[in-house]
Amino acid sequence: MKFKLLYTLFVLAGGAFLFLGNSSGAGAVQGQDRTGSPLSSATCGACHGGNNFSPIIELEILKDGEAVAAYIPGEVYTMRVSAGFTGNPSVFGFQAVALTGANNAQAGDFQNAPSGVQITALNGREYPEHSSRSQESAFEIEWVAPEAGTGEVRFYSSILAANNGNGSGGDGVATLDAPVVLTEDATSNIADRLALEAAVEVFPNPAGETANLRISEADAGDYQVELMTIHGQVLSAQKLQVNGAATLPIDMSAWAAGLYLVRVSNGERSLVRRVIKR
């Protein structure tokens, strides 16, 4: 009887430790990468189980409220990690990291963590994560893009929807299927960039089976046009030759209703437009 009592107390204490640890961030308390990155041995699901709430994770890099697929070195952006879910989770948590290069080095810097979010340093890398259980399903933090020549940046993240019980069961975890990738925008001439933005239009928006990309009064040349998910996954790619003005139909019939990104690049400059499929 005494052995059973001690065993029960041990199990309860262990569950409480995991619960309290994750409530303050797996990086800060456990020293672990739970983002699903190449440096991660596991996700938040290593401690939280139950497969409840069917969470879906979304990570966006925003500039002036708009999602981007390329960064300008040194510019300040907002990383937003949010969860879609079913049922009624009580609290949420997350962890993310930005990596670059073959050695998965730190890419850029996170700063100005808001209330409830902290930046944890692990092995030379920065991990924004929750510092306390949040009742909000979205987390935002500033990200300063790295210096010129860094190249591609990959964002990894895991998010937790929890029942706020006294343990780590009955929760739900979602991790990005693939990293959100930002390419480096080599544009240093802001005037040229603004001119390109003014020249590109996607219509109709919302779109049905087909959206149209129109480029007018832009530099002549070959443009790459990519339809992407909000996670940066390329769904289709086409070439468009521009000499004054040109219009390109983008077939969206194979994709579900929702938000998509259209990235346009001429090899020197690029930009992203949002399009909603009805």
**Distance in angstroms (rounded) separating the CA atoms of residues 92 and 132:** 9
**Distance in angstroms (rounded) separating the CA atoms of residues 20 and 91:** 13
Q: Is the pLDDT of residue 108 over 50?
A: yes
Provide the pLDDT confidence category of residue 227 given band limits of 50, 70 and 90: very high
pLDDT recorded at residue 213: 95
pLDDT recorded at residue 133: 84
Average pLDDT (234-242) is 92
Place of tokens 């989770």: 89
- The predicted-structure confidence for 57-87, as pLDDT tens digits, reads as follows 999 999 988 899 899 888 889 999 998 888 7
Q: Is the pLDDT of residue 259 over 70?
A: yes
Sequence-ordered list of residues with C-beta below 8 angstroms from that of 142, at least 6 positions apart, any chain: 76, 77, 78, 79, 110, 111, 112
Q: 2-184 and 190-277 share one CATH topology?
A: yes
Provide the pLDDT confidence category of residue 2 given band limits of 50, 70 and 90: very low
Provide the pLDDT confidence category of residue 10 given band limits of 50, 70 and 90: very low
Q: Show me where the domains of the chain are located.
A: 2-184, 190-277
pLDDT recorded at residue 9: 34
Q: Is the pLDDT of residue 256 over 90?
A: yes
**Distance in angstroms (rounded) separating the CA atoms of residues 120 and 127:** 5
Chain-wide mean pLDDT for the chain?
82
84-88, 167-171, 206-210 — which one is most confidently predicted on average?
A: 206-210
pLDDT recorded at residue 254: 96
pLDDT recorded at residue 13: 39
The domain made up of 190-277 has a fold known as: Immunoglobulin-like (2.60.40)
Report which of residues 120 and 30 the model is more confident about. 120
pLDDT recorded at residue 11: 37
100-114, 174-188, 219-233 — which one is most confidently predicted on average?
A: 100-114
Q: In what order do the strands lie in the sheet with 258-265?
A: 234-242, 221-228, 258-265, 270-277
Q: Model pTM?
A: 0.63
pLDDT recorded at residue 34: 92
pLDDT recorded at residue 182: 95
Q: What are the start-end ranges of the H helices in 123-189? A: none
Sequence-ordered list of residues with C-beta below 8 angstroms from that of 188, at least 6 positions apart, any chain: none
**Distance in angstroms (rounded) separating the CA atoms of residues 24 and 176:** 21
Percent of the chain's residues with pLDDT above 90: 45
**Distance in angstroms (rounded) separating the CA atoms of residues 58 and 42:** 19
Provide the pLDDT confidence category of residue 101 given band limits of 50, 70 and 90: very high
Provide DSSP, 31-52: ----B-STT-S-BGGGT--S--
Report which of residues 1 and 94 the model is more confident about. 94
The domain made up of 2-184 has a fold known as: Immunoglobulin-like (2.60.40)
